[in-house]
Amino acid sequence: MRLGGDRKHRLQAPLRQCEGFWPDRNHRDSPQAWLEIYRVVRAETERRAAPLSPEDQVVQSMPDASPIKWHRAHTTWFFEQFVLASHVPSYRAYDPRFAFLFNSYYVAAGPRHARPKRGLVTRPDVAEVGQYRAHVDAAVEKLLTSIGARIAGDVLPVLEIGLHHEQQHQELMLTDILHAFSDNPTAPAYDPDWRWPPGAGRRDDWCELPEGIHTVGNQTHGFCFDNETPAHRALIGPVRLARNLVTNGEWLAFMRDGGYSRPELWLSDGWATLMGEAWLAPRNWREIDGNWYGFTLNGLSPINESLPVSHVSYYEADAFARWAGKHLPSESEWEVAARAGELEDAFGVVWQWTRSAYGPYPAYRPVAGALGEYNGKFMVNQMVLRGSSVATPPGHARVSYRNFFYPAARWQFTGLRLADFPT
Ligand SMILES: [Fe+2]
């Protein structure tokens, strides 16, 4: 039995914040501390892949999703390219052809295979990708156990980015295999024991944010991606944010009121997408004998009306908010409320769409070199999501974190909370 069932592969409950996961302030210069966290992060990738067969790991169900095998190899290439090749003169690449296969979008790092064709790469096979990972792991471990102070200051920050990068792909591994399984008529379960995290409890009221100037963006000395900086001041409110996420039950009410058949509720691009893709419900919902079922990592089951709605696009979230007579919060409003501890289920359940377009913060500058391509070149035509999801790995969430997707995307664990004007 390869598809789940083995309890050792069960997903861990998500951490709501990243404190306690990464080397603390006193150990950030310690190669030994980074070696230990390197092993933890790399093992999490393998744990997520373990329930999946070689056939599962090669499939690419759409251009936006990547095969599990590719995620495992690409995250490995990242360390090979940006840590080993750059800082270990004696390092020998496992296979020089892998740079072409497993570079994602780094133009400065050289040519690469076409993204929509990743599912056609059956060689190297799953076993060899495992050997590739072991080869790079051995080289990184050797580097960290022998590194001199002279280059540690150059290597450790890049290694740290590589670990956060691998965590991003760990989330994609789950969302991409869920998308692939959702196209399988037998509705296979990734893990039959998978469960939504217990809710934080409902407080059916609003968090009031009076008008004021607040600092948003990353203000810590810990890790963040460049798109979270610089911290800057923003005028907030007056506004109020729902403490709770929108639920499946509320979404059913929207559907029963013609939510998917009333163009006046929708943005023009959203309505065109709905018509083109024949949307009738959130992605992964299926109507069987007049009842709605949802497909997720544990397979197909009746919709639980008390759980947060998931797998909705920005267009759907915006239409729902308009139907409810409300709107979506801006990312700054979300951040100020979350910093104050006023939002239930801000982390670890579903990413929350905001009405903020993904763009640079004032005075933003991407880092120099190929890693400057990490975030900056995507700052157009996408919308910001805040928080984190049930698929986000331990230690990855931050209150200043800016996730971003195109407004029609809905294969991630994406939901919403509402905003309103004060009464
Ligand atoms: Fe990547």
> What are the per-10-residue average pLDDT scores of the chain (423 residues)?
32 47 89 95 98 98 97 97 94 95 86 92 97 98 89 91 97 98 97 88 87 96 94 97 97 98 98 98 97 98 96 99 98 98 96 98 90 90 98 96 98 98 86
CA of 215 to the centre of ligand 1 (A): 30
Q: Give the pLDDT of residue 149.
A: 76
Q: What is the 3-state secondary structure (H, E, C) of 320-367?
A: HHHHCCCECCCHHHHHHHHHCCCCCCCCCECEEEEEEECCCCCCCCCC
Distance 169 CA to ligand 1 centre (A): 7
Q: Are 412 and 174 a contacting pair, CB within 8 Å?
A: no
Confidence (pLDDT) at 70: 97
Strands (E), 247-326: 285-288, 291-296, 299-302
Contacts 24+ apart (CB under 8 A), 118-123: 118/60, 118/66, 118/67, 118/70, 119/58, 119/59, 119/60, 119/61, 119/67, 120/60, 121/58, 121/67, 121/70, 122/58
Distance 159 CA to ligand 1 centre (A): 14
Q: Ligand 1 center to residue 383 CA distance, Å?
A: 19
Residue type at 234? A
Q: What is the pTM of this model?
A: 0.94
Residue 105 Cα to ligand 1 midpoint, Å, equals: 8
CA of 142 to the centre of ligand 1 (A): 24
Task: Give the pLDDT confidence score for residue 26 in this predicted structure.
Answer: 87
The position carrying tokens 């009221």 is 205
Helix (H, G, I), strand (E, B) or coil at 285: strand
pLDDT value at residue 150:
75
Distance 287 CA to ligand 1 centre (A): 35
- Measured in degrees and rounded to the nearest 5, phi and psi for residue 53 equal -75, 165
Find the radius of gyration of the CA atoms of the chain: 22
